[in-house]
Amino acid sequence: MLYIHQSTCISPQQTFLEVDLNTVHASSDNKLKVIEPTYEGIPPGILRRMGKAVRIGVGSALPLLKAVSLDGFIIGTANGGMEDCIKFLNQIIQYDEGLLTPGNFVQSTPNAIAGQLGLLTKNKGYNITHVHRGLSFENAAIDAMMMLHEYPSNNYLLGAVDEISAYNYNIDYLSGWYKKEMLSNKELYQTNSAGSIAGESAVMFIVNGDETNAVARLRGIQTLHTTDENSIEKQVNVFIQKHLPDEEKIDLLLSGENGDNRLSKYYTVVESSIGKTTARFKHISGEYATASSFAVWLATQILTTQKVPSHMLQKSGQPSIIKNILIYNNYKGAQHSFILLTKGN
């Protein structure tokens, strides 16, 4: 069983250390870029050479590492430091495969974040990065659950990082995954067109198998590959029956609806099946492959405060008691995930 004890989040909103979820920061050019903090704990010489994905990943993790001894790092990312990867590939052409600077190459590999954390903390434990596009964080979480099943007393850093790179943004924009028209993130759900707005974040959790003082319990997780909304409707009911006792119910559905009218059918069938209060989060995070990690961080905040920010609520009022939160996320209409979180002790 996986229990979440601490968490941090660097996102386009005020979520790092001083959390304010009631104020919505606006998007710019259909992009929601992270609010980068002052990176305390990273030596300036190392920080200067870090790419953005590595910088926000390491920066979000370091506050959690001060008071806990870790047995490993488990990170999910769809692209790693893609911006640095493109810089390195451009250097190959620019210098005609001659003397290349290794910095961009080292910072561009997907495992650079977990690797850098291991080096900075001199941790030689389990160190792995999951790269599975829209299910990268989910696979990292499943890995953490499997590790804790075998070693329940261990502590792991579970997290996910993705950045907005010019390369990936242009490809997804040309593929129709981002809005052609300019709009504010506050108007995201009022549009009836294809595409969403781009986002990025770095989210980290300290997880172990001990329920004492845990803020949340990850009760179940399931991933699916399908384009059939009927399969989604069937699987969400099977998932709830499997992981939720008969005497309990879902108190809140945290929906990954992103303003893309091609994907609304999937969210509609899940909302109809749950029939409870629905909250949405992509207007404050944007769309990206590991947005589900941001949803999990949000869920831990909601379970702790027992309050959903009003701008997130789609219908109905505030739930009186929030014990069980179901997260449903969909990436590009083909990769789906259900994550069930329960309030800790």
Whole-number Cα distances in Å, 97 to 93, 103, 119: 6, 15, 29
Largest CA distance in the chain: 67
Whole-model pTM over 0.85: yes
Residue 316 is predicted with a pLDDT of 66
pLDDT in tens, 64-109: 998 799 999 999 999 864 666 666 677 777 767 776 666 666 555 6
Give the residue carrying structure tokens 């091609």: 262
- Residue 26 DSSP one-character state: P
CA–CA separation, 87 vs 84, rounded Å?
5
Going from the N-terminus, what domains does the chain have, and what CATH number goes with each? 2-208 (3.40.47.10), 216-343 (3.40.47.10)
Q: What is the DSSP letter of 64?
A: G
Residue 299 and residue 342: Cα distance in Å, rounded? 9
The total of other beta-carbon atoms located within 10 Å of residue 305's CB is: 12
Residue 46: burial class (beta carbons within 10 Å; 0-12, 13-18, 19+): middle
Extract long-range pairs of 39-42: CB within 8 Å, 24+ residues apart. 42/120
User: Is the predicted pLDDT of residue 121 greater than 80, yes or no?
Assistant: yes
